[in-house]
Amino acid sequence: MLKRTVLTATLAAAFGMPAAHVAAATSDPELAQIREQIQQLKESYERRIAALEQRLQESEAKAQAAPAVEVTAITPAVPSSASAAANGFNPSVALILGGTYAHLSQDPAQYRLQGFLPSGDEIGPGKRSFNLGESELTLSANIDPDFAGRLTFSLAADNSVSVEEAFVQTLGLSHGVNVKAGRFLSGIGYLNSQHAHAWDFVDAPLAYQAFFGGQYKPDGVQLTWLAPTERFLEVGLEAGNGSAFPGNDRSKNGFGATTLFAHVGDDLGVSASWRAGVSYLRTNASNRSYTDSDHLGVDVTNAFTDRSDVWIVDGIYKWAPNGNAAQTSFKLQGEYFRRKETGTLFYDTQAQSLGSSSAPSLNTQSGWYVQGVYQFMPKWRSGLRYDRLDSGSLALNGLNPGDFARLSEYHPTRASWMLDYSPSEFSRLRLQLARDRSRPDAIDNQLFLQYLMSLGTHGAHTF
């Protein structure tokens, strides 16, 4: 009887039978007991369902959060890239440490480029024995979306510090236009725009020493335009104060020097490329003085005043199998210089000998170099370079040629061979041998050992 009563009540509860029908089949105490048991089962199932729903929500939340966790995990690796490293400091810092050992058969204190007016800061082979070479400290950064800036200090062996470059330049101007203002390495020629540590030889070619005193670094403004063509074409205009050699400081308003240049280049298949250019510099000098010896052997100070025009034609060819220079490569480059100076030449401006005098002068001089560098195996390169200058015939128009001993006609030459080893892209060791005939009365046999070390961030070099 009890079993029948329980079964009837259970079915009534399960199928929603009215309480009146259930009450008619059972007594009141039994009905209360059954209802209590059903309620307990119902609450138990609800708790289990709620627990399952909670677990489902937690699992979905974890699944949605999983990509964020992965991004967080890889984020610390991003600064290892070059772009992130360059922005690790503002500004970024680059330091080039250089040093040499020089063995010279002739006294470097007597060095001169015969037939050429000196720049006042003769470079030559430098001092004998161990020397701290020119080191460079560069600070650079993007200033804002429109401008970037760079400052390069040159640290010389005599503990002097000079500003090699200090300029701001535009970013993202339209139509391939870029503007640079301050002090900068001029885009004239090919080698001039490169820092010394990027050269393939220890020293600059003789033509750069004779016509620019090393490198032409104007204080002014540069405007360049990169043409939107498949073949590389760049045109540039520079205007400066004219204080850099072959000009000098004339304390004059406006532009004292103007430079024009154009470069064109292209690929030759997948393994070779080339670039050629033509450049023109016009500047002026006022009492650009130098020390000479007159016909009596007395040291005198002479000077030149007026106009100097320089033309340069340059070219470079590069080859590497399939464009990969890691194993082997070859580079051939050369430049031809021609300078015409028209003005007045002054003798003994400080009346150290016979008293001052002057006369109109005209002189056309030229010079060139050609060099080839071959990487014959990874990290090892060897190269040859030949330099030659032609001083031309100086038209003195009545002045005594003997009073301008340094300007007497001559053809300086030099042949150089180098071998260098680069353990990495940040270090280089170099051996260089040279036979220098810059002076008519002596041959200077030269041996150099050089190291170049790069610390900090450093941008890629130009083509």
pLDDT along the chain (463 residues), means of 10: 43 44 52 78 76 75 51 38 50 91 92 83 82 89 91 87 93 90 95 93 94 93 94 96 89 89 94 96 90 85 89 97 91 96 84 73 89 96 97 78 84 97 94 95 94 82 73
Residue 259 lies in a domain: yes
188 phi and psi, to 5 degrees? -65, 140
User: Of 31, 48, 77, which residue is a domain's last?
Assistant: 77
Residues 41 and 168 in one domain: no
Q: Whole domain around residue 192: which residue ranges?
A: 94-456
| pLDDT at position 460 | 67
Q: Does the CA dihedral 114-115-117-123 come out positive or negative?
A: negative
Kindly report the pTM of this predicted structure. 0.77
| pLDDT at position 174 | 87
Residue 89 lies in a domain: no
Residue 237 lies in a domain: yes
Residue 224 lies in a domain: yes
Work out the angle at residue 434's Cα, subtended by the Cα atoms of residues 405 and 159, and round it to the nearest 5 degrees.
75
Determine how many CB atoms are found less than 10 A away from the CB of residue 291: 12
Residues 111 and 257 in one domain: yes
Residue 84 lies in a domain: no
Residues 20 and 141 in one domain: no
CA 91 vs CA 98, 144, 149, 460: distances in Å? 23, 12, 9, 17
Residues 287 and 389 in one domain: yes
User: Of 77, 109, 138, which residue is a domain's last?
Assistant: 77
User: Do 364 and 395 form a contact (C-beta atoms < 8 A)?
Assistant: no
Residues 148 and 201 in one domain: yes
| pLDDT at position 412 | 94
Nearest partner of 210 among 312, 343, 108, judged by Cα: 312
Residue 427 lies in a domain: yes
Residues 25 and 61 in one domain: yes
What's the count of helices (H) and strands (E) in the chain, helices before strands?
5, 17
Residues 42 and 149 in one domain: no
Residue 87 lies in a domain: no
Helices 2-14 and 28-74, packing angle to 10 deg: 50
Cα 109 to Cα 122: distance, rounded to the nearest angstrom:
10
Residues 267 and 168 in one domain: yes
Residues 103 and 59 in one domain: no
Residues 156 and 18 in one domain: no
The CATH number covering residue 367 comes to 2.40.160.10
Residues 301 and 369 in one domain: yes
Residues 19 and 62 in one domain: yes
| pLDDT at position 55 | 78
Nearest partner of 222 among 257, 247, 172, judged by Cα: 257
- Domains in the chain, number: 2
Residue 392 lies in a domain: yes
